[in-house]
Every structure is written in structure tokens, then in C-alpha cells.
Chains A and B, each alone.
Chain A
């Protein structure tokens, strides 16, 4: 097996990975940095983020408001000291992107323009039309080309973290094009592998968002934190799940049920007037808006489409000019994938899984409980999202904490004096395990196991949950993991560009992440943020559950769940109020 030495290995080339790589390169140009990704960096899922990134810059906005919106939006499950750090760094990072050339949308006078997103007291979302993630990712990727110490391993698939003497000291990866393995030795690893939304079927995420980074850490004894908190984005196209940005509502779009009624007023986000105003109606937080859809659907007040029920997102009153200026991609997506022109008719939308609030626990420097391992971006649980992430906080997160992890990991690598461990035996054992899958002649197809996982998660761990269905999901996942272990039948037995084989390895990780989600959900006997139960635990229970869930890997068996304290600094839990009583300080938008 080839071995390559680097000081630092970064797994994942999306926004967090690229920002970490640049930060590490800038902090010490002498460090060798390996940026390893299963896709060429500009294909990473950051590319699909649409609406924008949060940073206080509007004259009416303050850091305190960003703090309060984030902590109340997260239903008080946020690490408040980390949120404090985060809100203080967002604007600096978004400004840094401006200096690197990001085409932020501007006001007429040339200043940065910002818009409202859900759950915000003031407009805070920097945007580049409705392709913010695309522009951030390409700006970062292109800027990264200036740093000769960043060596890219494009289309290398990482399978295992290699731990010796209690420290991560290497990564096993396969070159996708050839199928050959490579041992990447290093002094520190940054996980920047993104979320795990593809655990579910109805999904806004790209096919690559499969959670194997979380799975790799989990398999090494790192707990996964708060995995039950899965975000449903309220507005995705039925069937395909393609995302229609919250920015559409930030610009004034409204949600209507089949009777043309703005139903959110019945779910604690009204009254209707005065409209628009912040933190009300369509500018409610994602958990509440998605849950309201579920109730409308149960009550039979949704619209039928060939791909299931939906409600209408109406943008017609914005007019063609504004739609073309602020939401051009939304118009194109609706035309291409829903045969609907939002200039003339409302877009049918429904909730779809969008974001993994939980992940690999780490501190504000990205350091995880495992020595030498850092995490940043969606794969991490740094603690800013709590039980429900606010829209626009994740793009800011991957910049703020990508940089923090890059700098911290660089420091660790620079100061590391321990002699490199012999990792060959471990790497060979892991390689053999993966290669053995190529010989399997019995068993089920990848697609069959994946479809079963989707069904389990959609039916058992959905928007609204109860003990019976979650319990069934846990049992079925356990049985499904057993079926996976018995064998995945592959048509493709070659090494070269064998995506069927790599998908099968990936699925092994994804199944365990699914199991961590289901068991964490079952153990949380309350409702908080995106975790909503209807079996007697329909209220928040701060006495027993103002705490993080921790899922611990137990080999072939189901995870062990325990709980860990939440850091509260200056905002004590209180009732989460939107709509009527949110007391806006000023009207939502001044034209």
C-alpha cells in the first residue's frame, strides 16, 4: 500500500474543508496539507446552498440579536459560549470572502445587501442572488489554488480513521479512479464531510451527503451528539426534494393551503398583519413551519400532486423583475423540475430532510474528544444549532469553524513531537475488510438496503414521532444492519472506478448514523425544536431533557445513549414565541 506523509489531512473539500485548508496554509506555510475529497471540491454540497449566510452588518442589527435568535431558534439546546464566539466571527468571515472576490449582492450605493430569513429579528442574511453556496464554494476553491502547500486528492474515498496510542495518525483512502488504497499519514485530521441527510428518502441534499465522516469517527469511539435533531426544510419540490430557498419567503413569498389560506397563522406564527414583520408567519423558524405543514396535511387541507401532498409557495406578487434579480435560480428550478413559472403560478412545495443538526461533538476550536481529530461544518456538532438550526447560520458556520479548526489543527501538527506510529497493520486489516466485499456473491443489492433504510427513517423518525414507531424503526434498523453484514451483492467486481463497491462501504456508515438518530430520538422523552412527539411527550421538559444526547457505538449492536449537560451562559430557557408576541422593533422590510 502506498503511504503519503502530510502534516494535516482534511477530509472533505466543501466550504468547511476548503476554509480549513486555507486557514492552515496561512497560519503556517511550512505545513503540508492534504485535502482529500470523494468529489472534486466544487462538486461538494455547499454548492447547492441558496439563500445566504448570517452576519451582523445591517444598522438595525446587533450581535445580541443574532445571539438571541440563534439560541431561541435552537430551543435552548445551543452551547451558548460557542454561539457567543460564532456571532462575533461571522461578519469577519463574510467580509473575508468579499476580499477573496465573492459576488455578494449589493445595495445601490455599493454596500452589502442583506435580507431576512426565518426567525430573525433583523435582516442579517448576506446573499449572492439565490446561489450563495455556489458562489462561496467556487470563491473558496479558486482562492485555495493560491496556496502551494495544499495538495488535493480529488476523488479519493476515505473509509477509516487510523488511531494508534489514542491519537488519530492516519486515514485509509481509495483512489476512486484506480481503486488502489493509500495510507495517508498525518499528525492531525479535520473531518469536513458534511451531513447525513441521505439517511432519509425525501431530501433536499445531494447524493454525496451520506454521513460517512460521522460514521468513521463513531466507529473509533467518538460519540455522535444530538442526532435526533434532523431539520426538515419546509419548502422543497415534491418528489425530487429539490430545495426552494427560504430566501423566497425572505423576499416576501407566502405559503397557502389548498383553500388559498395562509395557514401558518393557525400555528402560533400569526396574526397575519402587520405584514411583513420579522419572526412571524412565513418568517417563522423551519421546525415550526414544517410541523405546521404536517398538521395541515393530516387535516386534509393540502394540495394533491403526482408526487404526494403539497402546499403553495406564492411569489407572484413579487413581480418578474424582483424574481429575476433576487431569485433567478428558483425560477429556473421551478420551470425545469416542476413545470411551473413562479411569475405566473404558485410553486407546489412540501418539507424534505435538509440538515443534520447533530454530529461529531467538538469545541469552538473544532477539537473532538479524540486526540488529533477535529471537525467542522455539518458533520460537526459544535453546538450552535441546538434543536433547530436557523437558516443562514450553516454557511456562516462552515467559514467560522472551518477557519478555527484549520488554525487549531495546524497548531497541533506544528507542535506535535511524537514519532509516527506504525499504521500498516491497521491499514492492511481495514483494506482487506473492504476488498472482501468485492468477493461477495450472496446477499442484497445496495439499492434494496438503501430503500429499506429510507422507508424506516421516513415512517419511524419523521417530522412527528411517537415511541411505538421510533421503537419499530430501531428494531428494523438493527435487522437491516444484520442483513448488511450478511452481504451486499455487487455486480461490479473490478477495482477501477467501482462506485457500486464504494457506495456499499458508504452505506455501512450511513446505516450506523441512522441507528444513532433513531435511538437518540427514542431516548428523548420530550418535544424540543425539530424533535416533536405526539405520545404524551409533546412539551419541552427542561427538568429532564435540557441536555445533549450522546450516542455511543457498540460494535454490531445498537448504540448506547446517554446525556450530557448544555452550556448556558446568559440566556435561560423560556417559552419560544413567534408571531403575535414576538414584538418586532421595526417592520420587516423597508424597500
Chain B
């Protein structure tokens, strides 16, 4: 087995039934070369303090449960490794910009509502009836949206987004990237329905192009690019409306 060392993990603690304000608690955790921050937290929960509360599930960076701040950076704790911080201590906090339910578990209801608001499903054109056959879509057409379909809803981009931090009405990076994922799909004809979300003050225009969302995305989704492309679409839509009035749905 690989050699065991010790690292100090400092966790933000908050229990709504007993605490008026969050505080920090430190734990000494033995770790080996391959241990993730998540495994460090699991060690604490199993052996030192069963009250420490955090979400996790797949431990392979695909379920999106374990996002948290490690030394002020939003990361997936399952693919962030203790070896990269030792011998310094690390500080683990809940994802920034979200209300805390308890300790490292944040309230994700605001995000889920935003996800729903972008009509995140295929809206085929009315004449499109593939019957019982799959539609055709070339590999190039798949590439047009596949990158934006990689979002695991881990919320790191919201924790990194200064605009969302200032005003949580902003639809935000992941939801707007998902909106673009469907708009960019050759099988979809729902752009008009989604345009309202894009054009709203809280839509793409809420973004000030800081680009932190794309920096922190563990799946290389590039929400900033999705938002930027929709700013172009939104501008065109604005001018087109003067030329060709469109009935509201």
C-alpha cells in the first residue's frame, strides 16, 4: 500500500437547528497518494465525526453531487486529491452563492427551477414525424451540440460566476448552456420558445463575460461560449422583430 501521511482538513460547519452562524472545524486525516478530498471527508464521517454532512454518490465525476469549495476554488471533491495540497491544510466549504442547508450541503432548488425554465427538451417542428424510425443526424450535426450536452449539473459554474453571486435572478451558466444545447440540435425547432428566456434581463444579458464558468467546468462545457452565441442570437432577434413582427405564443 502507498505511504500514509496526515493532512488537516478544515470544514465549514453549519447546523440550522443549533447554529446562528457558520464556523470552521479542523480534522486530522491520514491519507494515501490516491485519496481524494471526498475520501478525506468520508474518513471524517466514518471515523471521527458522523455529524459532518456532505453529498456524494458516484465518486467518478459524472453524477454531479459532490461539488464544494476547496481553498476558495469550486471543484468536484471526488476528483480533487489531497496529495496536491499537502503539507498545507485545506479548507473545504459549501459551493459559493447558494444557501447552506447544512455544512457542505447547499440548497439547489433555485438551480433546478432555472433548469426547468429553459425548456430543456427537444421541441420538434410541427411537421416532423419520424414515426417509429430514428431521425438522421450526421456526426458533424451531433458535434454542434454534444459539447453543451456534457453538463452534469454540478453547479461549480454558479459558484464561480460573479454575476450570479451579485444577483441570483440571473439564469446562469449551466441552464443557459443547456438552452443552447437544444437550440444547436438539428432536430430541434424550439428556438422561439427559448428566446424569451434568452432576451430577458436575467437571460444572456445578465452575463458580463468574465468566463470563470468555463474555467471551472469539470466537463469542458464552455457555458461562456454558449451565452456569447446567444447574445448574437438575441441581438438578431431584437432587430428582426422590427422587420417581421412575430405573434407571441
Contacts and interface: CB of A to CB of B under 8 A. Distances in A.
A321 interface: no
B138 A105 contact: no
A564 interface: no
A145 B175 CA distance: 14
Contacts of A110: 136-138, 141
- Residues of A contacting B: mostly: loop
Nearest to A39: B57
A517 interface: no
A500 interface: yes
B50 A492 contact: yes
Contacts of B45: 447, 499-500
B63 A446 contact: no
Nearest to A499: B53
Contact of A491 (B51, B62, B187): B51
Contacts of A496: 15-17, 101-102
Contact of B57 (A43, A143, A333): A43
Given A145-B121, A242-B60, A333-B60, A108 B138 contact: yes
Interface in B125-164: 130, 132-139, 141-142, 145-146, 149-150, 152-153
A222 to B, nearest CB: 26
Interface in B55-93: 55-65, 79
Contact of A111 (B64, B130, B136, B150): B136
B28 interface: no
Interface residues of A, number: 62
B50 A491 contact: yes
Interface string A105-117: 1111111100000
B192 interface: no
Contacts of A497: 53, 101-103, 105
B50 A146 contact: no
Contacts of A206: 57-59, 63
Most A Cβ at <10 Å: residue of B16, B65, B146 = B65
Nearest to A140: B121
A154 to B, nearest CB: 7
A243 B60 contact: yes
Contacts of B15: 494, 496
A40 interface: yes
Nearest to A497: B102
A134 B221 CA distance: 15
Interface in A91-138: 92, 94-95, 98-101, 103-112, 131, 134-135, 138
B51 A492 contact: yes
A154 B108 CA distance: 10
Contacts of A112: 134
A150 to B, nearest CB: 12
Given A207-B56, A491-B51, A100 B122 contact: yes
B116 interface: yes
Interface in A212-264: 239-240, 242-243
18 contacts: A40-B112, A40-B153, A43-B58, A48-B58, A99-B122, A104-B134, A107-B139, A109-B136, A111-B134, A134-B152, A145-B121, A154-B112, A177-B107, A306-B34, A329-B62, A445-B46, A446-B46, A499-B53
Interface of A: 39-40, 42-45, 47-48, 92, 94-95, 98-101, 103-112, 131, 134-135, 138, 142-143, 145-146, 154, 177, 206-208, 239-240, 242-243, 306-307, 329, 332-333, 336-337, 445-447, 490-492, 494-500
Given A101-B122, A104-B134, A490-B50, 20 more contacts: A43-B63, A47-B152, A99-B130, A101-B187, A101-B188, A103-B146, A105-B139, A110-B138, A111-B136, A143-B121, A145-B116, A177-B102, A337-B60, A492-B53, A494-B51, A495-B17, A496-B101, A496-B102, A499-B53, A500-B45
Top 7 A-B residue pairs of the complex, sorted by shortest distance between their CB atoms? A110-B136, A491-B50, A447-B46, A101-B122, A497-B102, A500-B50, A98-B134
